[in-house]
With several copies, the nearest count.
Chain A
């Protein structure tokens, strides 16, 4: 049956459409079944505006229709969780009456279409998710994926995306304190931009997106509405084909200056007790905010679109409801205090207008020029979206070669580098280790990220104790002795090989990074970037990743407080690697115990801590033991530095500890490598559950490690200006640390050129 054939029964709503053809449904990314569901909910055919409303609310992006059945398996509860998934951001209790709101969100598709603005508005969106709950943003991070930089188009995309993030975050005045970036061929036509934001507030001052109090006014604040991004939400729910170019006019432009004003005005209005409910207008704009607020409040919302501040003329109700113009919020206030509320926004130079009212009938009613254009029950619209349990089928063979998980940085590196490592592994007799180290440090996947993070203001707000470049970022909390540690981790190659194992490793590595920085892991947010959910292998990857995350989060006692899912990351039918990104937040009770990767002083001993036997797959119990050991050593101030071993293995981690840090120039190290006789694997191989530390108290450290069932090899000392590594009784490399640093620092600036 075609949509057209569906019975058209008018219910007094104007402009009922008698022309809903298959083509119209396709443009709205709705299936015939979904359409019938709409007709059933309404008891009649939808109007054009209603069809638009359903299409965005039921898009993959807003409804999570393919992922919800799996996400339910994540552990979301814990003593510290004040708000789990379901709100704009997750919230945890950090003591002292304070709470932290944090979340991560993808902006992959918009960033491919227009890298600068796409990334900028991604940052804007996640910041609004934080301050809409009443928290003041104090840190952001971002996780990025690009195709290899040898291609000019990938360089253009990276320049734009990094520039856009910098533009928005810097202008808004929030420090961008960390993140991660990784290059691989699968992201060439589909870069990933996952933006994380974190804010702080008093725990009894949390605001929710609820429309309550029948008769209360609904107020629109912020920037004016234009035709920006109409159907952004549905766009993010369909892959790019040949017509990506045709979809372009949808680009939204961000205005970080207005966002900053919006922040100050919202927090001021909240502080004055003028806000009953508040929700940002993100994906699906006015539609999503009004219907979600109504659904959460169990109320109806009537909007009069004539009142909506508009930047363009002649906008239709359809366009106004679906516009994704940025820097806008929807508020509910008490009728008696509305004038006061409006005055706060006007003081900050922002539009603030009453556009509707909370009603008792549970309907989202849209009026324009005296006519009703939509009348949809909020509950079913927000909560009864179709739910798909899509087919899950493991692939015939793993997506990538197992060898690559030993040297995961090689994926996306120049072919000659890959070849050099293959040669070394197969001809252990004649390996030029120095050459391998130069290649490793010179590969984009392991090189210094300074080119990126120096474009971000990472110090504003004067809280940054550890900025970009260490294992985790650390932000002190003024007025307390505490600090927050935070990190993003997404080891895509490991996930591509084995999604469940890769996800476990991702969570473990995030925890390890927090622990190495002196923090105690508390809670997790996550961004799940996947290919086309209609491909059974993609859904298998998804399901496996969710289970891997669940296992690890349970093991570490770190509940998931929220996240985001981005499907349809594919171009010309090629799915990206399954790319979960874990955002972990940890707490330091005493900021004085903060620890970084950098070696501190000549003469300090260097120790490698690892399990008694080396393993490829992670053992979560062993990992916990390692983290408990490190936490205890840091609390007792035994460690001068700690660095988790990940991409590039032992030697790369060692070099990173040597490179310049704040006022200390690069410093050398002389070590003897523990050997399993696996030649270059011993030096460069990636194995979980390993940490490189420096200390002045070797004996304490060694005996403590033994208590935890782990080995601590005393391998050498810090000092001089050479990196000297002995392996199997011979000097494997003896190199000038400054030369290595120049090489490592030069990679991205050279590839990115000019400027």
Chain B
């Protein structure tokens, strides 16, 4: 089974990468983009032998304890 975990900075947390990308788009000849915020994306495979509840609990733990840093980030899980 496959889940996607999307980790993004909390809205008020500074995102130096996003700011730098956005500020330099002009030199790439791209204008009209007013904001960029960068996050992380994880493609996670879990064993098919697990039941649905276990799978969900597993990915939830993975996201919360490992993939996201709860101090500055939040996460979202999407099952495919």
Contacts and interface: CB of A to CB of B under 8 A. Distances in A.
Interface of A: 113-114, 116-117, 152, 223, 226-228, 248-249, 251-255, 257-258, 311-312, 325, 349, 753-755
A432 to B, nearest CB: 32
B78 interface: no
Contacts of B12: 226-227, 312
Contacts of B2: none
8 contacts: A116-B69, A228-B14, A249-B10, A251-B13, A254-B16, A255-B19, A257-B20, A754-B20
Chain A contact residues, majority secondary structure = loop
**Most chain A beta carbons < 10 A, residue from B10, B12, B16, B20:** B16
A227 B13 CA distance: 8
A682 B71 CA distance: 49
A751 to B, nearest CB: 11
A152 B15 CA distance: 25
A754 B28 CA distance: 12
A248 B73 CA distance: 12
Interface in B1-27: 10, 12-16, 19-20, 23-24, 27
Interface string B28-52: 1000000000000000000000000
Given A117-B72, A152-B28, A253 B23 contact: no
Contacts of A223: 14
Nearest to A254: B16
A251 B20 CA distance: 20
A255 B27 contact: no
A349 B24 CA distance: 10
Given A114-B72, A248-B71, A258 B16 contact: yes
5 tightest Cβ-Cβ pairs between the two chains A and B: A255-B16, A253-B14, A754-B24, A114-B71, A754-B23
A114 B69 contact: yes
Nearest to A156: B28
A369 B17 CA distance: 32
A476 B37 CA distance: 42
Contacts of A227: 12
A253 B16 contact: yes
Contacts of B20: 257, 754-755
A248 B71 CA distance: 6
A254 B17 CA distance: 11
A76 to B, nearest CB: 37
B1 to A, nearest CB: 20
A249 B20 CA distance: 23
A237 B79 CA distance: 45
B38 to A, nearest CB: 12
A568 B56 CA distance: 41
Contacts of A114: 69, 71-72
A584 B49 CA distance: 60
A427 to B, nearest CB: 37
A123 to B, nearest CB: 15
Given A253-B14, A255-B16, 20 more contacts: A116-B69, A152-B27, A152-B28, A226-B12, A228-B13, A228-B14, A248-B71, A251-B13, A251-B71, A251-B72, A252-B14, A253-B13, A253-B15, A257-B16, A312-B12, A325-B14, A349-B23, A753-B23, A753-B24, A754-B20
Contacts of A754: 20, 23-24
A249 B19 CA distance: 21
Given A754-B20, A754-B24, A755-B20, A113 B71 contact: yes
Contacts of A755: 20
A255 B12 CA distance: 15
A546 to B, nearest CB: 35
A253 B10 CA distance: 12
Nearest to B25: A754
A535 to B, nearest CB: 29
A325 B28 CA distance: 29
B23 to A, nearest CB: 5
B72 A255 contact: no
B71 A311 contact: no
Contacts of A312: 12
Contacts of A251: 13, 71-72
Contacts of B28: 152
B67 to A, nearest CB: 14
B75 to A, nearest CB: 16
Contacts of B16: 253-255, 257-258
B21 to A, nearest CB: 8
Contacts of A116: 69
A226 B13 CA distance: 8
Contact of B14 (A226, A248, A249): A226
Contacts of B23: 349, 753-754
Nearest to B15: A253
Nearest to B19: A255
Contacts of A226: 12, 14
Nearest to A754: B24
A226 B19 CA distance: 14
Contacts of A753: 23-24, 27
A11 to B, nearest CB: 34
Contacts of A113: 71
Interface in B50-80: 69, 71-72
Contacts of A228: 13-14
Contacts of A117: 72
Nearest to A113: B71
B10 to A, nearest CB: 8
A257 B24 CA distance: 13
Nearest to B24: A754
A311 B14 contact: yes
Contacts of B15: 253
A189 B13 CA distance: 25
B59 to A, nearest CB: 20
With most chain B CB atoms within 10 A of its CB, the pick from A312, A325, A754, A755 is A754
A90 B10 CA distance: 38
A353 B68 CA distance: 35
